[in-house]
Structure 1
């Protein structure tokens, strides 16, 4: 499966053409990010097929203003101020939860509902909204040392999974936050001269959550203790990450855990029920760490097909792991019950997702003390407090005006990107007829 696609494809000529849609500034300047306003959906790509998406590169930011800066955004020429707050030049931070507040959707062909629906961060393996470096075959994340293991940390995210389409491909992001969002992106794709064969499987991805995951025991029973050793011979109360009908191939998942007890959580067996399985399932494993190709608990590593991005030993009580079934896809013909990312025939299942309030990651927050006593200020100090508010109002007003200008330009570029993609396709089809 990997060889023909990765290593020999470049040695074989086919009637195809490579192209890209990106967020580049059509004016020729450097305002290369799309600005997506609160509540707005931005169409990143709308492409006529047949073709296949070959690569996604996403870089994003979402900053909250805590106080006025010295450089107005309309004068700075950058998407965000990357100056330490301690310098007094600016006072703003990344929204720690925005990776869960922004949704990514993808539609193939005539699908009226999305075939991919997930928080943007979790789609790219940024679990719990915590950015961290890792490298696998289909996904990577590149994070600066200053942003590593931060909630909402800045990251460059890549996906190399092929995503075929025959009639149309549409990729969009929705900003369900209350502040503006910046999106840089590449969407690389190939146009094909002929439709994909009838046995083609189409990429699907979904995000699911239980918060918390229920168990049969009261909470004071320690996970994996002697008292929890009861038989599980039907799998009916297992945590279900994927359940779908149709024919396809399950290619893996990324898996985020927040563990409340401070003990080991991962001895529950993995079970994959395929087609007409009742009991036992076609694939029965021996524990969560075993499913993720690790053992004796989890280890901090990033291999091509399995690894741990966030390890609970370095950031208790968080764990983010992945397993990609690319050399060993799990095939099904009528139904499967497992996890998250998978390929199958169209039409796919109707996907839904939790509202923002139920998607936010659990975080331990430092709450500053609050006092009812208000200090009495002299005239000079009172004036300085008023001056701060006036500067903040002016700074925010300037940024909001700047954001709306950028957002309008982003909408125009999105429409132009669609026109340019159609023109590339027209010229490609004309060329192969000659």
Structure 2
């Protein structure tokens, strides 16, 4: 399959194998009355494009026969989301008839939605821009693929638009691995215990993650000489670093020096939000104590033969109380460890009121108003 996933144009002129299909919401459901729209030929035609999900309903987006490779998964929503919705719609992807999904994550977090808010970014693997959610991770399957969207919001969800692009009629390489993704949240963190980003069993390679972290530490109540360390002036959780343990080793093969360094950024994401083709920061705010970032190991996947464990420390000595949530991406042989999502009440982002009040008291004393506006970020 020359050039199928090349990020450049060096081989786009070469002959391509197979057949490309798009499975979308067009005609997927009987006509439904649109919220706030009079019934008629135009509304009937519009309603053919999208689907409506009842509370607790599981809707099959695509049910495919293999062999094939899914090359794109896309969503958009015309109606404004309630705050909980990005973490209340569940993506469940099954390969080759398996019972436990290989992809098990809230829709928003899978695509990089930060704290249930839409934050635009554009990368080679995924993007959120102009209201759309897109993933371009290749997802091969030998016999079958079933992609399910489950509504765990407890309410009716209107006008869900989606698209699944698949290449069929191809022969998969013998060493093809299956795509996996899982969402994990630690809230609140425990002193001395790091956040787990991924704990996988089997052979494969890790290819990246989205990470969200919110400081819940009462850092201004510490002695002033501890506001910098471990407090970090409200960003002390970012003094924690990542560690990767491969094939059961006692010491990590990869030992980082700070959260922002893993995402190829400077101290506390020095200039705030940024977007890059392999890494970026979509949230950095001293006001709320929140950061959200992504990194994709497309040039440097991390292989493992029997197991892989990645952790992220929350501050020096894991001393900063925080709310961590991460979505990891990896490829591996089956079977994989069964995974599940917690109930919706355990997914909602933490409140920011107390941390914001501490920041508003502290930073005006240190900085002028103009510098403070630039520092607090979005």
TM-score above 0.5: yes
The alpha-carbon deviation at position 317 of structure 1 amounts to 2.4
**Which of 316, 322, 344 is matched with 2:332 structurally?**
344
Cα separation, partners in 2 of 1:97 and 1:162, compared to 1, 3 Å: same
Instruction: Describe the SS at the equivalent of 1:357.
Output: helix
The alpha-carbon deviation at position 20 of structure 1 amounts to 0.5
Partners of 1:241 and 1:335 lie apart in 2 by: 14
Residues 1:133 and 2:105 aligned together = no
2:263 corresponds in structure 1 to: 292
Provide, for residues 395-422 of structure 1, a one-character-per-residue CA deviation record: whole Å limited to 9, x for no partner: xxxxxxxxxxxxxxxxxxxxxxxxxxxx
Residues 1:188 and 2:165 aligned together = yes
The alpha-carbon deviation at position 327 of structure 1 amounts to 0.5
Provide, for residues 43-90 of structure 1, a one-character-per-residue CA deviation record: whole Å limited to 9, x for no partner: 0000101000001110126xxxxxxxxxxxxxxxxxx5xxxxxxxxxx
The answer to which structure has the higher helix fraction is 1
The alpha-carbon deviation at position 258 of structure 1 amounts to 1.3
Alignment of 1:172-321 (within 5 A): 172-182=148-158, 183-194=160-171, 196-216=172-192, 237-261=193-217, 262-279=234-251, 281-298=252-269, 299-313=272-286, 316-321=288-293
Residues 1:100 and 2:93 aligned together = no
Instruction: Describe the SS at the equivalent of 1:208.
Output: strand
Range that drifts further, 324-333 or 178-187: 178-187
Decide whether the 8 Å contact of 2:97 with 2:145 is kept in 1.
no
Partners of 2:174 and 2:99 lie apart in 1 by: 20
Provide, for residues 365-393 of structure 1, a one-character-per-residue CA deviation record: whole Å limited to 9, x for no partner: 8xxxxxxxxxxxxxxxxxxxxxxxxxxxx
The alpha-carbon deviation at position 178 of structure 1 amounts to 2.2
Instruction: Provide the TM-score with structure 2 as the length reference.
Output: 0.75
Residues 1:327 and 2:299 aligned together = yes
The alpha-carbon deviation at position 312 of structure 1 amounts to 1.6
Provide, for residues 209-264 of structure 1, a one-character-per-residue CA deviation record: whole Å limited to 9, x for no partner: 11011114xxxxxxxxxxxxxxxxxxxx3321101111111000000111123333
2:374 corresponds in structure 1 to: none
Gaps of 5+ in 2: 32-43, 218-233, 312-327, 354-378
The alpha-carbon deviation at position 192 of structure 1 amounts to 2.8
Partners of 1:191 and 1:9 lie apart in 2 by: 20
Partners of 1:239 and 1:25 lie apart in 2 by: 43
Decide whether the 8 Å contact of 2:235 with 2:268 is kept in 1.
no
Alignment of 1:278-427 (within 5 A): 278-279=250-251, 281-298=252-269, 299-313=272-286, 316-338=288-310, 340-364=328-352
Q: CA RMSD in A?
A: 2.1
Instruction: Describe the SS at the equivalent of 2:345.
Output: helix
Instruction: Provide the TM-score with structure 1 as the length reference.
Output: 0.66
Partners of 2:122 and 2:264 lie apart in 1 by: 16
Using CA pairs below 8 Å that are at least 6 residues apart, which structure has the higher relative contact order?
Answer: 1
Decide whether the 8 Å contact of 1:60 with 1:181 is kept in 2.
no
Partners of 1:4 and 1:38 lie apart in 2 by: 38
The answer to which structure has the higher strand fraction is 2
Partners of 1:16 and 1:310 lie apart in 2 by: 40
1:113 corresponds in structure 2 to: 100
Gaps of 5+ in 1: 62-79, 81-92, 144-154, 217-236, 366-434
Residues 1:20 and 2:29 aligned together = no
The alpha-carbon deviation at position 364 of structure 1 amounts to 4.8
Instruction: Describe the SS at the equivalent of 1:170.
Output: strand
